């Protein structure tokens, strides 16, 4: 991967967005305004008017079918999937269009229709781009940058690993926090109380991971080698949420391996007699 620079002239003048979901509406709002003329977002069954570029913000399983419907509408066609290869746009490519992808490395819990709010949501986020030519990669990079995102290239071979990593970093984190809520009920905490209490801890942990890397950010009983506490935790999980014991055990195993990578603390200085 490498970060990509792009000339502003790579921006298409008339861009049509297909897809009225959370991603389509947010990206359409973020891109609206000069020098872009953004059309839509259109529904998946609608045929946009002829334009310079089409951006398909539809579910992965529908990309190829929608690309077939819109083939011939624009000389440039892209999608916003992180996992789906460019080959899904082959119906558009067969009609002579250059194809590309741009995948915002950001979660979209709800659509954002206000331009300023959409740009604030995307500002500084990474955006994985790919294209079938230097020109289409420049277009993808220009569109990403126009929203405030930071484009970087991802090749087709690495696409699945990239998207899996993104899911682990984001989706699985939410799954873990849901598990924490379940276990916290054993301490008499409601889900709402657990979220309010643990959110600052999670936020600071993520900050530490981003600044220091995983090994240095790791704290807690496993990092300290306090196996007695880990055993008490496991017993509490088994009593409160037995379905989570296997998950707890796997996480303990991997956390022990991570703890083994931590740099050794410096030896304390000898006291002067």
Helix (H) or strand (E) holding 153: strand 150-153
Q: What is the pLDDT of residues 248-259, one digit of tens each?
A: 999 999 999 999
Q: What is the pLDDT of residue 10?
A: 86
Helix axis angle for 245-259 and 227-240, nearest 10°, is 160
Q: What is the pLDDT of residue 3?
A: 47
Nearest to 15 by CA among 66, 62, 56, 63: 56
Nearest to 206 by CA among 220, 218, 222: 218
Q: Which two tokens stand for residue 88?
A: 């899904």
In whole angstroms, give the CA distance from residue 142 to residue 151: 8
Nearest to 143 by CA among 133, 132, 128, 158: 128
Percentage with pLDDT > 90 across the chain: 89
Report whether pLDDT(262) > 90.
no
Q: Is 137 within 8 Å of 4 (Cβ atoms)?
A: yes
Q: What is the pLDDT of residues 162-221, one digit of tens each?
A: 999 999 999 999 999 999 999 999 999 999 999 999 999 999 999 999 999 999 999 999
Report whether pLDDT(5) > 70.
no
What are the angstrom distances between the C-alpha of 144 and each of 7, 122, 150? 12, 9, 7
Provide mean pLDDT across the span 75-101: 97
Q: Is 4 within 8 Å of 141 (Cβ atoms)?
A: yes
Alpha helices in 73-114 (DSSP H): 90-94
Q: Is 148 within 8 Å of 3 (Cβ atoms)?
A: no
Q: What is the pLDDT of residues 103-154, one digit of tens each?
A: 999 999 999 999 999 999 999 999 999 999 999 999 999 999 999 999 999 9
Q: What is the pLDDT of residue 8?
A: 65
Residues 6+ apart with CB under 8 A from 11: 35, 36, 139, 142, 143, 146
Nearest to 238 by CA among 247, 226, 227: 247
Residues 6+ apart with CB under 8 A from 184: 191, 193, 194, 198
- Please tell me whether the peptide bond between 41 and the residue prior to it is cis, using omega within 30 degrees of 0: yes
Domain at 8-158: CATH architecture: 3-Layer(aba) Sandwich (3.40)
Q: Which two tokens stand for residue 24?
A: 């389509």
CA gyration radius, the chain: 23
Give the pTM: 0.88
Domain segments of the chain as ranges: 8-158, 170-259
Report whether pLDDT(235) > 90.
yes
Q: Which two tokens stand for residue 154?
A: 């991802």
């Amino acid at each position: 991967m490498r970060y990509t620079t792009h000339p502003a002239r790579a921006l298409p003048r008339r861009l049509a967005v297909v897809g009225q979901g959370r991603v389509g509406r947010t990206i359409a709002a973020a891109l609206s305004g000069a020098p872009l003329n953004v059309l839509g977002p259109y529904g998946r069954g609608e045929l946009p008017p002829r334009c310079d570029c089409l951006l398909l913000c539809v579910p992965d399983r529908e990309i190829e079918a929608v690309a077939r419907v819109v083939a011939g509408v624009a000389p440039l066609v892209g999608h916003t999937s992180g996992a789906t290869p460019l080959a899904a746009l082959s119906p558009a490519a067969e009609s002579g269009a250059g194809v590309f992808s741009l995948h915002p490395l950001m979660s979209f819990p709800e659509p954002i229709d206000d331009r300023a709010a959409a740009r604030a949501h995307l500002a500084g986020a990474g955006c994985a781009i790919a294209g079938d030519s230097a020109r289409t990669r420049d277009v993808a990079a220009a569109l990403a940058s126009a929203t405030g995102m930071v484009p970087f290239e991802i090749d087709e071979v690495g696409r699945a690993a990239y998207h899996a990593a993104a899911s682990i970093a984001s989706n699985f984190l939410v799954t873990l926090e849901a598990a924490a809520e379940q276990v916290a009920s054993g301490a008499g905490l409601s889900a709402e109380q657990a979220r309010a209490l643990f959110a600052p801890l999670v936020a600071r942990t993520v900050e530490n991971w981003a600044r220091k890397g995983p090994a240095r950010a790791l704290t807690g009983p496993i990092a300290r080698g306090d196996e007695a506490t880990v055993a008490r935790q496991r017993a509490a999980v088994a009593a409160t949420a037995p379905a989570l014991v296997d998950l707890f055990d796997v996480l303990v195993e991997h956390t022990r391996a991570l703890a083994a990578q931590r740099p050794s603390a410096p030896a304390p200085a000898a006291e002067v007699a």
